Homo-oligomer: A and B are copies of this chain.
Amino acid sequence: VVRVKSLSSAMANSAKLHPVAGIELATVCAGIKKADRRDLVAIKMVPQTAVAAVFTRNEFRAAPVLLAQNHLQTHKPVCLLINTGNANAGTGQQGMADAQESCRQLAQLLQCDEQQVLPFSTGVIGENLPVQKIVAALPALVENLTVDGWEQASHGILTTDTVTKAHSYQIPVADQSITLTGIAKGSGMIRPNMATMLAFIGTDAQIEPTLLQQCLNEAVTQSFNRITVDGDTSTNDACVLMATGRSGVEITADSAAYRLFCDALCRLAQELAKDIVRDGEGATKLITVEVNGGASMQECHDVAYTIAHSPLVKTAMFASDPNWGRILAAVGRSGVTLDINAVEIYLDQVCIVRDGGRSPDYTEAAGQAVMEQNEITVRVALNRGEHSTQVWTCDFSYDYVRINAEYRT
């Protein structure tokens, strides 16, 4: 109870981004795609910071993803270098050389090994990275590093996003306190698979890397891996969690603070993930798809994602049309063998399907009332087991088509 309360009260302050002791950030305009656009970000951490990360499972992983994974295997990171405007994906050997050169130049300025720099890129796929513009901007970047840089950085990593995504908590632990601050970007090409487009989370907790990675995996599974805008997993997804230890609060697997920390991290990741869906390209609504009573997690996910990806369901949501036949059809084609007479489907609390057809007490007015809302839960009760899941998606609007038809113009 105390845990939930302290977390909630901390979340009320999330508009303010608390600095994380041991982490400095800087953001500058390098002119990568557009002039006078903040497009280059550095996140520098104190030595001995534990770093956990997850990356996209797209087979066509971008050069910076491959290089960051590589560097992480052998070195303790000192700095993240993030650019927007160019994904450096589908760029072959030149792309890898460009990512390496960026790391090398920043490492020289920071006097560390180039393997201690992790590169991240987001933007258009298939164009070569303008390395010289990035290198030219590095000295200003290093000069601007500040512990108060989270807010500027949350702007500097955006692409088609219309709003920043940032949350920050302070969690009381005994008579001390841990800070957790995170930023993310993402709006289209969003169906993360072990990571979201880009998310960077810092904490001053002291936690050993293996345990930190375990916390991150758990949080990502329940947040970034549960969202979809268009079903398109990006080539550049990455989520990084940095723990500086500067709070002096040590978290071990058997400590009381462990669950507290994991829950807060999970909550933070979920907030960032839902922010991404709310800001999904063209989105006007946040749709939570909940499937419960499943015989396995797999069948819960199959049903949930079939609904969440259905263009027919998503256009009906956009139109606020309780055309529930489309939800029923999506459940039916999810590849899960069902006793359809046992399945119930709800819009929020309104039962729309029961006994294989329209629920006898359903009225179009009740369905319409739910559909008018900005946030809607579609719940499917399979009624044959104990497993359940939630995924988050958005509706499908004219603007999704416009944004993606005009993206490169």
Q: Which residues of A contact B (CB under 8 A)?
A: 57-61, 87, 89-95, 124-126, 188-189, 191, 193, 230-235, 309-312, 315-316, 318-319, 321, 323-326, 328-334, 336-338, 340, 353, 355-358, 396-398, 400-402, 404-409
CB distance from A92 to the nearest CB of B (A): 3
Query: How many angstroms between the C-alpha atoms of A328 and B95 in the bound complex?
Result: 15
- Given known pairs A58-B329, A90-B325, A358-B92, the reply for A231 and B309 (CB within 8 Å) is yes
Residues of B within 8 A of A405 (CB): 315-316, 318-319, 321
User: Sorted from nearest, which 9 A-B pairs have the closest CB atoms?
Assistant: A125-B325, A92-B357, A60-B332, A319-B405, A315-B404, A233-B333, A58-B332, A126-B325, A59-B332
Query: How many angstroms between the C-alpha atoms of A188 and B61 in the bound complex?
Result: 34
CB distance from A280 to the nearest CB of B (A): 11
Output the nearest chain B residue to A124 by Cβ-Cβ distance.
Answer: B325
Most chain B CB neighbours (cut-off 10 Å) among A231, A232, A356, A401: A401
CB distance from A337 to the nearest CB of B (A): 7
Residues of B within 8 A of A408 (CB): 321, 323
CB within 8 A of A312: which of B58, B188, B316, B331? B188
Residues of B within 8 A of A124 (CB): 323, 325
* A340 and B401 contact, CB distance less than 8 A: no
Most chain B CB neighbours (cut-off 10 Å) among A126, A309, A316, A340: A126
Query: How many angstroms between the C-alpha atoms of A354 and B336 in the bound complex?
Result: 38
CB distance from A66 to the nearest CB of B (A): 10
CB distance from A186 to the nearest CB of B (A): 14
- Given known pairs A60-B328, A95-B357, A398-B402, the reply for A407 and B333 (CB within 8 Å) is no
CB within 8 A of A126: which of B231, B315, B324, B401? B324
* B193 and A409 contact, CB distance less than 8 A: no
Residues of B within 8 A of A234 (CB): 329
Query: How many angstroms between the C-alpha atoms of A112 and B271 in the bound complex?
Result: 64
CB distance from A181 to the nearest CB of B (A): 30
- Given known pairs A126-B358, A325-B124, A401-B315, the reply for A333 and B95 (CB within 8 Å) is no
Residues of B within 8 A of A94 (CB): 357
Residues of B within 8 A of A235 (CB): 325, 328-329, 332
- Given known pairs A355-B92, A358-B92, the reply for A232 and B326 (CB within 8 Å) is yes
Query: How many angstroms between the C-alpha atoms of A137 and B396 in the bound complex?
Result: 40
Residues of B within 8 A of A331 (CB): 59-60
CB distance from A228 to the nearest CB of B (A): 11
A sample of 6 more A-B contacts (CB under 8 A), given A87-B325, A126-B324, A230-B312, is A90-B356, A92-B356, A125-B328, A126-B325, A232-B310, A233-B329
Residues of B within 8 A of A311 (CB): 230-232, 311, 396, 400, 404
Interchain Cβ contacts under 8 Å between A and B, 24 examples: A59-B333, A60-B328, A60-B340, A89-B328, A90-B356, A90-B357, A92-B356, A93-B355, A93-B356, A94-B357, A95-B357, A124-B323, A124-B325, A125-B328, A126-B328, A232-B310, A232-B312, A233-B333, A234-B329, A235-B332, A311-B404, A316-B404, A318-B405, A396-B401
